[in-house]
């Protein structure tokens, strides 16, 4: 006996095929077509089930609902179906309900469709979503499929209302769930084989962002964010086609195929080079999408938390202009941190009346103030900073000092730089940054993108006993040490020296700082290479290493600190351990320390 869903899986795959050239285009339209096809097939399956059972299925009091990706119109080529049979407890007896449900579920299973199903009353749906956060997230998007649409809609409206009423209490739970996923799955931009649903910046964060928006605590982003979500769904669809199953893991065997379907493979390149280059571009794309989505979730969550603190407006415009108008509300308070930069409600903002489009140095002052105090930059302020007329060749003593203060802010640098990167400010300070932005490292030891790794290294460089000049050179070397990692570059340290010199000379740093920083960039691998391949007890080896830093003991200490920070920032993801062969393990620390001591002895003996 045939059913409406017998060949549904095959028809969904047929709707998902790439074009003749192997590129998957019009992803949003294909998702809409898959959704429409599935909803129609399920509606016909309902009619068939009603006709097949030996009892009458009433038109009221029982209905089929779609939740999850089907309800959102985001069904993938091999996505499972999330279906709920809702009833009022009176429409059918328990035995009849079970028989009718089986008439719905078994044809789907027989057709090879993965199914997440349940049978519940409206009260049971409310109870589950009250207690189960993932269930509540799924129910925020609901579509009636067949049967009593009013019953389904009433349940959906009730659950949404309950979510909005409880959102203030459940916000910490929602944010904790994101934190736990981060600990388990890592950040999508920094994982070589990411789970594009569960990792930070993935599709689960899209659902959380929508949940925050549905709560009315904060609006979600639009524009660039929406485009990033659609492109990530394209990636998900390509993974399904490459894997021939419902999976969100972008495993290495799928990556070249997925990249080709996304149109990232250059047909003019030889086969092996084409695949390697396209995978690199794919991971770069994921880094950009993941950063956009993660930043949008963070921004939406911050606005939601702000709403909880200030649920009522604190002031109105007329009360600012007319202080005698009752004095019932307090005007906003701004604490000036730097010219044009203020602190307002634990966020760094622009001071009242400041026009970012007229001040090229304002982003630096904002960043330095935010990093110095460990505070976030207000999202509206970031958008305003994007209008600042930055020119990469216009630097003065004040801007250079702010830049060094930013780099010297330790772990706080990571978050502030990420915020600046969202509006692409670092590439405007240093055009060379664009070439490594979001780029994965070719080294298997690295889990971070190249740009994130360099920021992580810089954040680990403590001042110690260095004077201002030496510390500035060390920070700049940390920032730029991998700037030479470009496609088809065989010696990125030498290439990096060239780019670093161009950057620092253009910024106008003193010649001595440029000399030290570029030397460290050129030699940033030397100490680690010596420690793993040479005898640390051989005086001749110590003399040779000392020669690489011009027999300067301070430069040797700076190289040691840079090496330690570099090896400590390889970025193992959750559940991974950097092996004893790479990273700053006890074994490698002993080798590097012994080798540096040998070189110091050679310098002291001259």
User: Tokens 């660039």 appear where?
Assistant: 224
| CA atoms of 423 and 383, how far apart (whole Å) | 7
For 2-20, the DSSP string reads --TTTTHHHHHHHHT---T
pLDDT 10s digits, 356-389: 999 999 999 999 999 999 998 988 899 899 999 9
507 is written with which tokens? Answer: 């910024």
Structure tokens at 285: 């794309």
d(CA 249, CA 76): 14
Q: Which of 379, 363, 228, 225 is nearest to 302 (CA)?
A: 379
User: 242 vs 85, 235, 305, 440, CA distance in Å?
Assistant: 32, 10, 40, 22
- Cα angle value 262/264/265 (rounded, 5°): 115
What's the pLDDT score for residue 109?
Answer: 93
Opening angle at CA 9, ends 7 and 13, nearest 5: 115
- Count the alpha carbons within 13 Å of 423 in the hemisphere toward its beta carbon: 19
Give the span between the Cα atoms of 269 and 330, in whole angstroms.
65
Residue 307 is predicted with a pLDDT of 62
Beta-strand pair 115-121/81-87: parallel
Q: Is there a contact between 569 and 478 (Cβ–Cβ < 8 Å)?
A: no
CB 148 within 8 A of CB 60: yes
354: helix, coil or strand? coil
| DSSP conformational letter for 370 | H
Question: How far apart, in whole angstroms, are the C-alpha atoms of residue 414 and residue 453?
Answer: 10
DSSP at 390: -
Cα dihedral sign, 320-321-322-325: negative
Structure tokens at 601: 């002895």
Closest C-alpha to 548, from 519, 528, 518, 588: 519
Kind and range of the H or E run holding 142: strand 142-147
How many C-beta atoms lie closer than 10 Å to residue 21's C-beta?
A: 9
Q: Which residues make Cβ contacts (< 8 Å) with residue 312, sequence separation at least 6?
A: none
What's the number of CA atoms in the CB half-sphere (13 Å) around residue 13?
Answer: 14
3-state secondary structure of 81: strand
Dihedral class, residue 146 (left if φ above 0, else alpha if ψ from -120 to 50, else beta): beta
- The backbone torsions φ and ψ at residue 212, rounded to the nearest 5 degrees and listed phi first, read -65, -40
As a whole number of angstroms, the distance between CA 71 and CA 74 comes to 8
Alpha-carbon distances of 213 from 161, 187, 355, 527, rounded to whole Å: 13, 23, 30, 51
User: Across the beta sheet with 335-338, what order do the strands follow?
Assistant: 335-338, 341-344, 347-350
Phi and psi at 383, nearest 5°, equal -60, -40
Find where tokens 């899209």 sit.
206
Where do we find the tokens 């059972």?
Answer: 53
Q: Interhelix angle for 8-15 vs 27-52, to 10°?
A: 170
Q: Tokens standing for 168?
A: 């203030």
- Which residue in the block uniquely carries the two structure tokens 């070589």? 192
In angstroms, how far apart are the furthest CA atoms of the chain? 101
**CA nearest neighbour of 495 among 476, 470, 521, 477:** 521
Q: Which domains does the chain have, with CATH numbers?
A: 1-168 (3.30.460.10), 186-308 (no CATH), 430-573+581-605 (1.10.3210)
How many Å apart are CA 599 and CA 606, to the nearest integer? 11
Q: How are beta strands 81-87 and 335-338 bridged, if at all? A: unpaired
Please, what are the averages of pLDDT over each run of 10 residues along the chain (606 residues)? Answer: 88 93 93 96 95 93 93 93 92 92 94 90 82 75 92 88 79 83 84 88 90 76 88 96 93 93 89 86 90 86 67 44 50 83 90 94 96 90 93 95 96 92 92 89 66 93 95 98 88 95 97 98 95 92 95 97 90 41 76 95 89
Q: What gap in Å lies between CA 431 and CA 439, rounded to an integer? A: 15
CA dist 553 and 219 (Å) reads: 56
Structural tokens at position 133: 């956060």
Q: How many CA atoms lie within 13 A of 462 on its CB side?
A: 3
In terms of C-beta density within 10 A (0-12 exposed, 13-18 middle, 19 or more buried), how is residue 335 classed?
A: exposed
What residues contact residue 290 under an 8 Å CB cut-off, 6+ apart? Answer: 187, 188, 189, 194, 199, 200, 201, 202
Compute, in degrees rounded to 10, the torsion defined by CA atoms 469, 475, 481, 482: -150
């Amino acid at each position: 006996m045939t059913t409406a869903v017998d060949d549904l899986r095959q028809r969904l795959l047929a709707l998902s095929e790439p074009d003749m050239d192997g590129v998957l285009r019009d992803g949003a339209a294909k998702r809409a077509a898959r959704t429409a096809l599935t909803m129609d097939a399920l509606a016909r399956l309902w009619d068939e089930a009603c006709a097949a059972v030996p009892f009458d299925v009433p038109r009221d009091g029982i209905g089929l609902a779609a939740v999850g990706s089907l309800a959102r119109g985001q069904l993938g080529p091999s996505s499972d179906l999330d279906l709920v049979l809702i009833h009022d407890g009176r429409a059918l007896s328990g035995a009849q309900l079970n028989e009718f449900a089986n008439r719905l579920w078994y044809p789907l299973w027989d057709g090879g469709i993965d199914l997440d199903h349940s049978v519940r009353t409206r009260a049971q749906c409310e109870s589950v979503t009250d207690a189960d956060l993932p269930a509540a997230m799924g129910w925020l998007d609901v579509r009636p499929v067949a049967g009593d649409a009013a019953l389904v809609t009433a349940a959906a409206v009730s659950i949404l209302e309950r979510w909005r009423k409880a959102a203030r209490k459940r916000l910490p739970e929602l944010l904790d769930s994101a934190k736990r996923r981060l600990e388990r799955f890592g950040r999508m931009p920094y994982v070589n084989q990411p789970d594009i649903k569960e990792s930070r910046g993935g599709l689960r964060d899209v659902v959380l962002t929508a949940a925050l928006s549905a709560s009315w605590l904060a609006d979600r982003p639009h524009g660039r964010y929406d485009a990033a979500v659609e492109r990530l769904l394209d990636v998900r669809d390509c993974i399904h086609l490459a894997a021939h199953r419902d999976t969100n893991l972008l495993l290495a065997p799928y990556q070249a195929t997925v990249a080709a379907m996304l149109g990232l493979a250059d047909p003019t390149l030889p086969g092996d080079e084409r695949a390697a280059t396209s995978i690199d571009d794919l991971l770069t794309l994921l880094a950009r999408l993941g950063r956009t989505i993660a930043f949008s979730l963070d921004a939406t969550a911050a606005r939601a938390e702000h709403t909880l603190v200030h649920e009522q407006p604190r002031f109105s415009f007329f009360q600012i202009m007319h202080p005698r108008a009752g004095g019932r509300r307090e005007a906003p308070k701004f604490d000036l941190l730097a010219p044009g930069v203020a602190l307002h409600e634990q966020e760094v903002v622009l001071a009242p009346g400041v026009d970012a489009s007229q001040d090229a140095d304002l982003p630096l002052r904002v960043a330095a103030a935010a990093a110095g105090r460990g505070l976030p930059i207000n999202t509206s302020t970031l958008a305003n900073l994007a209008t600042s007329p930055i020119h990469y060749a216009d630097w003065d003593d004040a801007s250079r000092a702010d830049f060094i203060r930013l780099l010297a802010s330790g772990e706080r640098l990571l978050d502030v730089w990420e915020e600046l990167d969202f509006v692409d400010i670092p590439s405007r300070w240093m055009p060379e940054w664009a070439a490594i932005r979001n780029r994965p490292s070719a080294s298997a030891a690295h889990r971070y993108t190249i740009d994130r790794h360099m920021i992580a290294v810089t954040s680990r460089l403590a001042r110690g006993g260095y004077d201002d000049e030496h510390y500035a050179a060390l920070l700049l070397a940390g920032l730029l040490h991998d700037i030479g990692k470009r496609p088809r570059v065989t010696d990125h340290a030498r290439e990096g020296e060239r780019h670093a010199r161009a950057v620092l000379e253009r910024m106008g740093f003193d010649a001595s700082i440029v000399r030290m920083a570029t030397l460290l960039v050129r030699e940033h691998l030397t100490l680690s290479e010596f420690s793993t391949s040479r005898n640390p007890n051989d005086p001749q080896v110590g003399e040779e290493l000392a020669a690489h830093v011009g027999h300067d003991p301070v430069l040797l200490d700076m190289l040691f600190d840079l090496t330690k920070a570099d090896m400590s920032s390889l970025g193992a993801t959750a559940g991974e351990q950097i092996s004893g062969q790479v990273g700053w393990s006890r074994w490698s620390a002993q080798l590097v320390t012994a080798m540096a001591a040998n070189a110091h002895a050679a310098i002291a003996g001259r």
